[in-house]
Amino acid sequence: MEIMSENLKKCKVCGRTITDKNNVTGLCPKHQKAANTGAAAVGLAGLGFAIKKFGPKMAKAALKIIKK
Ligand SMILES: [Zn+2]
């Protein structure tokens, strides 16, 4: 059982070996999911805050920045 060493990565959080060669985050699936959920939550919270403070127009602008 050999895994190509060039694709061998370890999770930044738990040190678990990542076998998914398409992984670009440097996180194991478990922590990658957690990171995505966290980023989405922060993004949504920021967007909600922007809408309250600046109105829908600014929210649209903020959304463009996020999508970049
Ligand atoms: Zn991990």
Residue 31 CA to ligand 1 center (angstroms) comes to: 5
Q: What's the CA-to-centroid distance between 58 and ligand 1, angstroms? A: 36
Mean pLDDT by 10 residues, the chain (68 residues): 62 89 86 84 80 74 72
Cβ-based neighbours of 62, under 8 Å, separated by 6 or more: 46, 47, 50
Residues, beta carbon < 5 Å, ion ligand 1: 11, 13-14, 28, 31
Q: Under DSSP, is residue 21 helix (H, G, I), strand (E, B) or coil?
A: coil
- Cα dist from 11 to 23, 31, 40, whole Å: 10, 8, 20
Q: How far does residue 33's CA lie from ligand 1's centre (Å)? A: 10
Residue 62 Cα to ligand 1 middle (Å): 31
- Domain segments of the chain: what residues? 5-67
- 16 within 8 A of 28, measured Cβ to Cβ: yes
Query: What pLDDT score does 7 carry?
Result: 57
